[in-house]
Structure 1
Amino acid sequence: MTTTTTNPTQQSSVLRTGLRTVSDAARTMFSAVVGPEFYVLLGVLAFVVAWGLAIATWGYPALIIVALFLVFVIFAGLMLITVGK
Structure 2
Amino acid sequence: MTIGTQMHQTLTSLEGAVADLKTYALQTEDKNAKKQFTDYANQLDSIAQGLKGRVNYLESQEPQYKVFQKAQQPQQQ
Which is helix-richer, 1 or 2? 2
Give TM-score, length-normalised by structure 1: 0.36
Q: Which protein has greater RCO, CA pairs closer than 8 Å, 6+ apart?
A: 2
The TM-score normalised by the length of structure 2 is: 0.39
Structure of larger gyration radius: 1
